[in-house]
Amino acid sequence: MAFWVYILKCSDGSFYTGHTDNLENRVAEHQAAVHRGYTYSRRPVTFMWSETFPSREEALAAELQIKPWNRKKKQALINGDWSLVSSSGKKSFQP
């Protein structure tokens, strides 16, 4: 089974980072406000980026690494700008 880490852009311009084992369903849940949480009052959301992982543990570790990043670094990840991702802080996500 595959797991994904994903980034959504919220209607207020902020980014939300999460992980799931069903990417399509989870993004739909965010859009439909199925769960009360960060994206609930920030809809609509726009899917921006995802990466697959072989285990939930690896996906969760990547999510926890990416989540505290600033906007500039998350945007660099979305854009695939690996030089900016690796140069803008101690922790750098490695796909």
| The CATH fold of domain 3-87 | GIY-YIG endonuclease (3.40.1440)
Percent helix, percent strand, percent coil in the chain, to nearest 5: 40, 20, 40
Handedness of CA 68, 73, 79, 85 (dihedral sign): negative
pLDDT per residue as tens digits for the range 86-95: 876 555 556 5
pLDDT at 92: 57
Q: Are 85 and 62 in contact (CB under 8 A)?
A: no
pLDDT at 94: 60
The domain limits of the chain are 3-87
Percent of the chain with pLDDT over 90: 85
Whether 44 has a pLDDT exceeding 80, the answer reads yes
Give the start-end residues of each E strand in the chain.
3-9, 15-20, 46-53
